[in-house]
Amino acid sequence: MPRPSLRSRTTKRKLVRTPGGRLVLRVIPKKHDYPKCALCGRPLQGFPKMTAKEERRGHRPPTRAYGGYLCYSCLKKGLKEAVRNLYYSA
Contacts of 71 (CB under 8 A, 6+ apart): 37, 39, 40, 42, 44, 45
Q: Which residue among 31, 62, 66, 74 contacts Zn ion (CB under 5 A)?
A: 74
Task: Please say which residue, 16 or 38, places its beta carbon nearer to Zn ion.
Answer: 38
Q: Which residue among 27, 35, 39, 72 contacts Zn ion (CB under 5 A)?
A: 39
Shortest Å distance, C-beta 9 to Zn ion: 35
| Interatomic CA distance for residues 75 and 78, integer angstroms | 5
Task: Please say which residue, 27 or 34, places its beta carbon nearer to Zn ion.
Answer: 34
- Residue 13 in contact with residue 27, Cβ under 8 Å? yes
- Residue 44 in contact with residue 36, Cβ under 8 Å? yes
Shortest Å distance, C-beta 63 to Zn ion: 18
Contact call for residue 75 and Zn ion (CB under 5 A)? no
Contacts of 11 (CB under 8 A, 6+ apart): 27, 28, 30
Contact call for residue 44 and Zn ion (CB under 5 A)? no
Per CB under 5 A, residues contacting Zn ion are: 37, 39-40, 71, 74
